Amino acid sequence: MFLLFLIMFLQNNFSQNHSEDYSYLDKYFENLKKLEFKKAHNINLENKSSVNELINLLTKIIADNGTSLISEMELKIKEFKVIKSNSKINNSLQNLIKGYLLLNYKKDRVNSFKYFRNACLIGLKAGNKPLIKYSLLSILHFYAEGSLQNDGKYKNHLNKYKELCEDGIDWLYYYNYKNKLYGQSKTYDENRKKSSNIEKSLIHKFDSLVATFKQQYKPLLFYYIQKGNSIIWEKPNLAEKFYLKAWNLTTNEKYYKTKKLSILFHFSRVSTKKNEHNKGLSYLKTAYSFINVNDSLDNIFYINAYKAGHFYNLKEYDSAFIYERKARFSSYNLNFQKHYTEVSKVREELNSKDKEIENLQLKQDNLEIENKRKQNSNFLIGSLLFILFGGTIGYLNLKNSRKKRLLALQQKELEKQKNITLIKEQELTTINAMVDGQEKERKRIAEDLHDNIGSVLATLKLHFENLKINREKKHFNQEELYQKTEGLIDETYKKVRSIAHAKNAGVIANQGLLVAIQMMAEKISSADKINIVVIDYGLDKPIDNSLEISVFRIVQELTTNIIKHAEATNATINLAHYDDHLNIIIEDNGKGFDINKINLKNGMGISSIKTRIEHLEGTFEIDSTLKKGTSTIINIPIS
């Protein structure tokens, strides 16, 4: 009855005849993503439009987060006035509201997904980016609310959302759902010992993003929960601290009721790992205060299941058996509820389909009679046309086939020549890149020899001439002159040694790629113009020395580009080695550039770097945004 009323209320909203300014939706959805519901509500009040009432309703539903009874929500719906608008924005918002009501209050996953998808499609037609992004987030929320059972369909929506990410909050939601949905797509094992390499890599990227945040946003509670989940098997004490950080970000608003329940379950899991089962039971006792009235069977099932585990470990087997039986009973009721709901939907669909079939059958009978009459007349006309055009078409086909064969031979020959030319051009490009790198290295060594060694040798020559002149006349202290000369020789030796060491930058000298890059970052950071942070993962395994040198030169040249062109104050070099691949991500907060307006063949040596990486059979990507910085991603296979 409630849903019927809501649908009638929404369908009576048709549009005004003039266009409206919806630019304020950007700030509205930004605050909604930050979980700042009061600010979002105030922004809606400050900007008058035909969708104000719908936005107000959407805010209340999101802030309630499925914690109120359906009857209470029905009273809130009745408070709103009828809005006359049927704009695309209006229709998209209607679909969002319907989707959240069905998902949070009716647990109707099938239809809720349809409404979320419609909201996204209509938002695309309207060209409203904030609405598109929030619709995609709603679809990802839909996937996160249920078991995926190794279903990878969410990835398409996650990738579409990634393409629209603009700020830190957008990326926080992206990594939250990427971590959460990847975890749901795998078989859960509470007794596992550690996270997989892929999970570590995902949370490592999440860590790097959160490290850039300068204040504690409320959505960071998603990160703290994901972080705790990633280390609970190996470091339960540290995981407990992250769960506590998530708890401290919650408030008494209704939205956080289900979040608090989830965090209490995580505290109970930590207590199990730490063998503090009485403490775990106290957490579960508190959890009763946060049970969701619209999902009580599911909540009670988890409370009883966790309690059974604690009592079993305390060797209170009678209590463990009682709560295990309660958990099973809750599970049966939950499955029955889901089964009954699905059966009701199927029955309604079958009834409607039976009526459709009857109408279709009548139409089909009439169509068959009409079709037979048309078929006879059409057959006669078709036969005459076939005889008339058949001969002509056959003749033309024969003629065309001869021309096509000739053209195919010519095209094949041209393609062969093009391939030969392309291979030669690629070989020349690779050779040019290698020669270019060598020429730069020679030029650098020549400058060092000229500027450093040349001046010292010139001074040394003057000292020897003075020694020669004063061998007999002894105008100067000859012993002091010898000591100065010896000092210049030592200085020359050290500078030659320094140039040799700089050429290999520690990579060859048994120090390895990571140490060389760290030394380079420290040396650059010490100048106080830019701070470079090196983050590594999995570089404890040895890598071929020639590959290390090539990678170091590439990183060195990209870092030089940041210093020369980016005007950045901070940069990060991420190095990760897993699954026989070396992953390098270099990011800065500089002025960025428009990749489409840069001639990569002439500028910043990027073309040479790209060619060298391709020579190593790797991949090279640049993502840059004006005034926001540049990210360079390199993947190189390690045999």
Give residue limits of the domains in the chain. 1-146, 507-637
User: Looking at residue 101, what DSSP letter applies?
Assistant: H
Tell the burial category of 69 from Cβ atoms under 10 Å away from its Cβ (0-12, 13-18, 19+). exposed
pLDDT score recorded for residue 575: 93
pLDDT score recorded for residue 296: 73
| Weakly modelled stretches of the chain, pLDDT under 70 | 1-19, 70-86, 146-152, 185-196, 332-366, 424, 426-441, 443-444, 446-463, 465, 470-478, 495, 497-510, 599-604
The domain defined by 507-637 folds into: Heat Shock Protein 90 (3.30.565)
Q: What is the pLDDT of residues 150-168, one digit of tens each?
A: 456 788 999 999 999 999 9
Phi (first) and psi of residue 294, to 5 degrees: -90, 0
Helix (H) or strand (E) segment spanning residue 508: none
For the entire predicted model, the pTM comes to 0.52
Helix (H) or strand (E) segment spanning residue 571: strand 570-578
Rounded to whole angstroms, the Cα distance separating 267 from 274 reads 10
User: Looking at residue 81, what DSSP letter applies?
Assistant: P
Phi (first) and psi of residue 609, to 5 degrees: -65, -45
pLDDT score recorded for residue 348: 45
pLDDT score recorded for residue 13: 44
Rounded to whole angstroms, the Cα distance separating 328 from 322 reads 10
H runs (alpha helix) in 449-477:
454-473
pLDDT score recorded for residue 344: 45
Query: For residue 35, which of 56, 64, 57, 55 has the smallest C-alpha distance?
Result: 64
**In DSSP terms, which residues pair with 637 in a beta bridge?**
581
Rounded to whole angstroms, the Cα distance separating 204 from 226 reads 11
Chain Cα centroid distance, residue 587? 15
pLDDT score recorded for residue 462: 62
Rounded to whole angstroms, the Cα distance separating 616 from 430 reads 11
Chain Cα centroid distance, residue 250? 25
> For residues 135 and 120, is the Cβ–Cβ distance under 8 A?
yes
Question: Which are the contacts of 20, defined by CB distance < 8 A and separation ≥ 6?
Answer: 49, 50, 51, 87, 89
Query: For residue 188, which of 141, 246, 229, 242 has the smallest C-alpha distance?
Result: 229
